[in-house]
Amino acid sequence: MAAAELFLEQGYEPVSMDAIAFKADVSKRTVYSYFESKTELFVAILNAHCNSMGGIALPEHPAGHDPKKVLTEFGRVFVRMITSARAIAMQRVIFREVDRIPEVGRIFFQNGPQRHITKLADYLRQATTERKLKVDDPTGAAFLFMSIVKAPFHLHQLCGLIGTPPATALDRAVKEAVEVFLRAYGVANRARG
């Protein structure tokens, strides 16, 4: 979508409806026939971005599934998504605009991070019921896991200090995050503590 490209390249403020219409090779009137304002268009793009990034599917986890495998797969998919150039560019735009358009922050969190936290928390709840993990606060633990996985890269990327990390670095970060998480929430480890 032409508007998404412009917002990602330039940010929200510098982009005009005229520029969007020109890039899309349509009239400004056509753009306004779909969106009443630039803010409404930006929110629609944000929702589409979150939906496209919201497809993290946890591996099937029937009774007896190994939490290490489930967490590793979730971590791999999540860290690749969150460190992609497109995700970083969109987050930069969102964070610049959140003071001016507060609904942008809410929409992003509910349709992006919150969806992933909920998916992982549901799994952690099930794994605790099956006595494969011991997680007292599945939502907090899901948030913690996701934070650990992205920690080596995400802030550096948002600040423009590094580009997209190599796959080997991402895999190493996931492996380490899973090990730390299982030390904290593994049944055998919690029984000793």
pLDDT of the residue at 45: 81
pLDDT score recorded for residue 146: 95
Do the domain assignments include residue 1? no
For residue 70, being part of any structural domain is answered with yes
What letter does residue 136 receive in the DSSP assignment?
Answer: S
Q: What's the gap between Cα 55 and its chain centre?
A: 10
Provide the pLDDT for residue 41.
87
* Number of residues in the chain: 193
Q: How many domains does the chain have?
A: 1
d(CA 113, CA 15): 26
CATH of the domain at 181: 1.10.357.10
Query: What is the pLDDT at residue 142?
Result: 97
Q: Tell me, yes or no, whether 11 lies in a domain.
A: no
Q: Is residue 45 part of a domain?
A: no
Q: Can you give the pTM of this predicted structure?
A: 0.80
For residue 92, being part of any structural domain is answered with yes
Task: Return the CA Rg of the chain.
Answer: 20
- The separation between the first and the last C-alpha atoms of the chain, rounded to the nearest angstrom, is 53
Question: Structural domain of residue 103, as residue ranges?
Answer: 55-192
pLDDT score for 192: 47
Residues of the chain with pLDDT under 70: 50-51, 53-64, 188-193
What SS3 class is residue 186? Answer: strand
59 inside domain? yes
Residue 85, in any domain of the structure: yes
C-alpha 79: how far from chain center: 8
CA trace torsion 40, 3, 150, 126 (10° rounding): 50
